[in-house]
């Protein structure tokens, strides 16, 4: 199943929240993303059916291996793209917002080239 940008955003959000807290619930995702609870509930159902997440009997959400793989890829893109934009003078907030949009559409080839360029500039 091809995952849309919104699905990638939800998976990335679950990853980010799971780094900050032990358990992630739909309400945490709604607050973090500033979305309504019904929107989150619908998205979690889609992600669960696609086997990107699991939800336990207490309502705690976990990434499956395939969900984690996608979330980590998107999160890495976000971090690298934000760093690249900040390194060329973009303010931190704007860099994060722009990275959030770019991370879903940039090709693997372009991303890897940017990543290598950033690594070279840090040496």
Give the SS3 label for residue 54.
strand
Q: What is the pLDDT of residue 117?
A: 84
- Topology adopted by domain 70-122: Diphtheria Toxin Repressor; domain 2 (1.10.60)
Q: Could you tell me where in the chain the CATH 1.10.60.10 domains are found?
A: 70-122
Question: 2: pLDDT confidence band, cut at 50, 70 and 90?
Answer: low
In the chain, residues under CATH classification 1.10.10.10 are: 5-68
pLDDT per residue over 7-16, tens digit each?
Answer: 999 999 999 9
Higher pLDDT, 77 or 119: 77
Decide if 46 contacts 102 (C-beta within 8 A).
no
Residues 112 and 110: their CA atoms lie apart, in Å, by 6
Fold of 5-68: Arc Repressor Mutant, subunit A (1.10.10)
The model's confidence at residue 122, banded by pLDDT at 50, 70 and 90, is confident
pLDDT tens digits, one per residue of 43-80: 999 999 999 999 999 999 999 999 999 999 999 999 99
Query: What is the Cα 79 distance to its own chain's centre?
Result: 10
Q: What is the pLDDT of residues 3-37, one digit of tens each?
A: 788 899 999 999 999 999 999 999 999 999 999 99
With beta carbons less than 8 A apart as the criterion, state whether 9 and 32 touch: no
Gap between the Cα atoms of 119 and 112, Å rounded: 10
Residues 6+ apart with CB under 8 A from 70: 3, 8, 11, 52
Q: CB atoms < 10 A from the CB of 79, how many?
A: 14
For range 89-98, the mean pLDDT? 95
């Amino acid at each position: 199943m091809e995952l849309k940008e919104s699905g990638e955003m939800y998976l990335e959000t679950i990853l980010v929240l799971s780094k900050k807290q032990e358990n992630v619930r739909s309400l945490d995702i709604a607050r973090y993303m500033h979305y309504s609870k019904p929107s989150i509930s619908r998205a979690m159902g889609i992600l669960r059916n696609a086997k990107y997440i699991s939800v336990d009997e207490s309502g705690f959400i976990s990434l499956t291996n395939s969900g984690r793989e996608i979330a980590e890829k998107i999160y890495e893109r976000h971090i690298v793209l934000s760093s690249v934009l900040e390194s060329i003078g973009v303010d931190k907030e704007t860099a994060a917002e722009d990275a959030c949009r770019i991370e879903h559409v940039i090709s693997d080839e372009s991303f890897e080239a940017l990543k290598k360029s950033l690594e070279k500039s840090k040496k």
